[in-house]
A and B are shown apart, each in its own frame.
Chain A
Amino acid sequence: MPETLLFYVLAAVAVVASVLVIGQRNAMYSVLFLIASFGALSGLYITLDAPFVAVAQIIIYAGAIMVLFLFVVMLLNAPQEDAATWDRTNPLRRPGIGRIGASLAGLLVVQLVWALGRIAGLGEGVRAQGDAATLSSVRELGRILFTDYAFAFEATSALILVAMVGAVVLARKESEQ
């Protein structure tokens, strides 16, 4: 079963790299692990017979968006975060903010569990629209993306924008206060 083996290797890389993204104190390394994670995801798409999605993943996420992230991180020249010096006055460190973050994380877990529970039904829905050959064709993909899944498509782009603003806020130098 080379495909199964490949799946586990790529999935492990993706998960480990994603964990390392948030585990790094150096913003530069976080960006690089995120690129590695995207690379592994792209490999997973190839094993799913979706070469176009795999290549689009590399071009858009790993190629364009992450270059932009790298640019932002380099431009702000984020210093290595030091665990010992907490800045209590930083608005991001207030306990209320932490609670909002925690509740959002909890919400995300609930959503994930719910979504994973529905996956079997979702898979049927996609399969009903055509076999793997038509689904992997760029024409079909474009049609589905801009009709049935238009909302998810736009919501994802908003999510990326939020993440970008977050990166700018977190990586900014705190010298002028």
Chain B
Amino acid sequence: MDFGFVSQMLGAAGPFLRPAIIGLLIFIVFNALIIASAILVLAERKIMGFMQQRYGPYLVGPHGVMQPFADILKLLFKEELRPKGADKYLFTLAPVIAVVAAFTAFATVPFGAETTLFGLLEEPIKLGIADVNVGVLVVFAVTSMGVYGIVLAGWASNSKYSLFGGLRASAQMISYELSYATSLAAVIMLSGSLSLREIVDSQSGTWLGFVPQWYVFLQPVGFVIYVIAGIAETNRAPFDFPEAEQELVAGFNTEYSSVRFALFPQAEYINMVTMSAVATDLYLGGWHSPLIPTEYGWIGFLLKVAFILFAYIWMRWTLPRYRYDQLMQFGWKWLFPASVLNLLVTATLMLYFNA
């Protein structure tokens, strides 16, 4: 097969073709995220079925693989309802905010070292859309915008269940964002950089010849805090209070139907992917893995992300939901002090070993 055109377009890094490469990367990442969320819907139901000793979806397509597409087609043909007392502008805007923030957050997440994609390109490209020198913070900032989608959806629906969902989302976000940011700060201190690419590259190499120099080994507490806060930020079980179905019908999206409804789970699944990708970059060495050469590191990156996503689903179907007051107590009285302590210990040890 002749890849002349592709390699010409991607390989020539001239000033005019640069936007074309970035545009192509955005297109690929955008579609990859959509497909990833479809796969996650299926994976979630399949793994749930496995854990509950039943089949899960298996009728649509071989082993039910077409189920997410059937679901989205069904939702497309549903009627879009809007409650009479709902705020018509915000009711429409809310799902858009949620999904736009979810897609945008991935823009500064690098997912591979310089690569020619198996010799497809003449000049190597860096895998990742935008390489910003404050990359970690951009991801953090954009994901924190996503909560407005949920909060506004809850408020604009003019329904008590939705309002409670929105209230819970905002309270949960404030409580867990602090621990999340503090656990990030420890990694930033260790690497001495705010750029995700530099953080990943500071994790290359091994200790004693076989232990990879990943920050998860230097920051085990930080990693656990990051994952817990990340689950709370993406509103996943056991922290899925904004839509706790036994208490609030469906929480913030009770009044939503059709495509507007579909956008919320879509945003949730994309946020999960972003959270896993950032966790991989920060703690699991990104594209630096043992046995995989750095040029093909994106394969290792994808494997790690897939594992974290599996753990996400695994946790959802293993752990029961917390009680709401327990969530707040845990966030403020345990998780946040632990993350501050982790930061202080990290800073002290860094000073001690540098001196």
Contacts and interface: CB of A to CB of B under 8 A. Distances in A.
Interface of A: 28, 32, 35, 51-52, 55-56, 58-59, 62-64, 67-68, 70-71, 74-75, 77, 138
Interface residues of B, number: 28
Contact of A71 (B134, B170, B177, B194): B170
A35 B145 CA distance: 10
Q: Is chain B's interface secondary structure helix, strand, loop, or mixed overall?
A: helix
Contacts of A28: 87, 90, 155
Given A51-B134, A56-B137, A62 B145 contact: yes
A68 to B, nearest CB: 6
A62 B145 CA distance: 8
A56 B151 CA distance: 22
A67 B181 CA distance: 16
Interface in B107-166: 132-134, 137-138, 140-142, 144-145, 147-148, 151-152, 154-155, 163, 166
B132 A51 contact: yes
Contacts of B167: 71, 74-75
B163 A74 contact: yes
Contact of B140 (A59, A68, A71): A59
Contacts of B132: 51
Q: Is chain A's interface secondary structure helix, strand, loop, or mixed overall?
A: helix
A138 B132 CA distance: 14
Contacts of A55: 134, 137-138, 140-141
Given A51-B132, A67-B151, A70-B151, 11 more contacts: A51-B133, A55-B134, A55-B138, A59-B137, A63-B141, A63-B177, A64-B144, A67-B144, A71-B167, A71-B170, A74-B167
Contact of B194 (A62, A67, A77, A138): A138
Contact of A35 (B138, B148, B173): B148
